[in-house]
Amino acid sequence: MQRSRRLAIVGVILVYLLCGAAVQGTDTVAAVPPDADHQVTVFYSSRCSSCVQVMPVVRDIAAAHPGVRFAYHDTASGGDVYQLYSAFDAAYGSSKPSIPVIFAGDTVVLTGEEEIRENLEDVVVALEHGLIPSAAYEERWKDAARHTSTVVLTLPLVLSAGLLDGINPCAFAVLVFLLVGVLGAGTRGRVFATGVAYSLAVFAVYFLAGFGLFAAVRSFEVAALFSTAAGCIAIAVGILQVASALAPDLPIRPAIPGRGKQYLAPLMQKASVPAACLLGVLAGIFELPCTGGVYLAVLAILSEHATVAEGILYLLAYNLMFILPLLAITAGIGLGIPPERVDTWRLGHRRALRLVIGVFLLGIGVVTLVI
């Protein structure tokens, strides 16, 4: 295993030598030295705010340790930089980490401003003293880095956020009215088919919208800016949710826009699976102002701290939890619970749900801004 990894890194070195050292501004990048184990390779972007903040730290550490060779690559310069980045990514098995990212030794990958600030000095000292490359040492170092990380992105957080967003009164009001129409025009089997079709359509819209935004933020390297904006939006929506819970007559409150309801109403009267699919797509779009605060905050955390592969898995998990209440309502009504009872429960608990969601939004908004 170690031998194959070393061969892969040798391949990276060959690509490096073929591509040359593409840099921008005053960066001077030496070719990879014969002893590539003492090379620290930095990928950053001059358009990335977190990169701009951490690069002075990287250069200070490099200046303090002249025996360790540093190479800098600005992804904003284009050219062969992305090809080189892909080669390093493949060799280290890092699943396209977001920039800034630093590769060192056989397995060390530092991703993001915080991880680089906390750990680069230790890695460089280890390189300087010949402790890296060493599979055993690097494994110990990686374990220590995991324990000292303050990133709060975990599967339970994503799952709980998706479920809480899913019980938002906005999220299942449309489904209840749809199933009322289905019960009046069809069998309970049709209730299941229509409810599942609607839920899957909502899932598709939310997943595609989330992944599109996640990919765009990473492509344009604006994760830090997006996190700030998403955190502020989450806090603003959280305040609105809490205010609407405490003062129900507030003129401004989270809800599906009136014009959106005009488009949704005719489809709710059509008790068919195709209509349910279209209704799910439209409802997913029109509900975003009402349910999107939590989603934006989670997307911001993903953009800062998750790889592409991790981001996809987290988005799938989030959206499965988001439609879980929809599927539960479908099952309940299909098994005989009157939809009127479900709607009565929704209306009776609307203020409490808004208060809980508002407090959660305030918390996750603050977390998004500070991590």
The domain ranges of the chain are 2-148, 155-370
CATH of 2-148, one of 3.40.30.10, 3.40.630.30, 3.40.190.10, 3.40.50.10780: 3.40.30.10
CA distances from 20 to 28, 77, 153 (A): 12, 13, 37
The per-residue pLDDT string of the chain (371 residues; one tens digit each, 9 = 90 and over) reads 445 555 444 454 444 444 443 333 334 333 333 334 457 999 988 877 778 889 999 999 999 998 888 999 888 777 778 788 888 878 877 666 677 889 887 778 888 887 888 889 988 888 888 777 666 666 665 555 544 443 445 788 899 999 988 887 777 777 777 777 677 656 677 888 888 998 999 999 999 999 999 988 877 767 778 888 888 998 998 898 898 888 877 766 665 655 555 666 566 666 678 888 888 888 888 777 777 888 998 998 888 777 777 889 999 999 999 999 989 988 988 888 887 888 788 778 888 888 998 899 999 888 888 76
Mutual angle of helices 288-305 and 188-219, in 10-degree steps: 50
Pair of tokens at residue 334: 């299909």
d(CA 156, CA 230): 20
- Residue 134 corresponds to which amino acid? S
pTM of the predicted structure, to 2 decimals: 0.65
Q: Which helix (H) or strand (E) holds 110?
A: strand 108-111
- Confirm if 237 and 158 have CB atoms less than 8 A apart: no
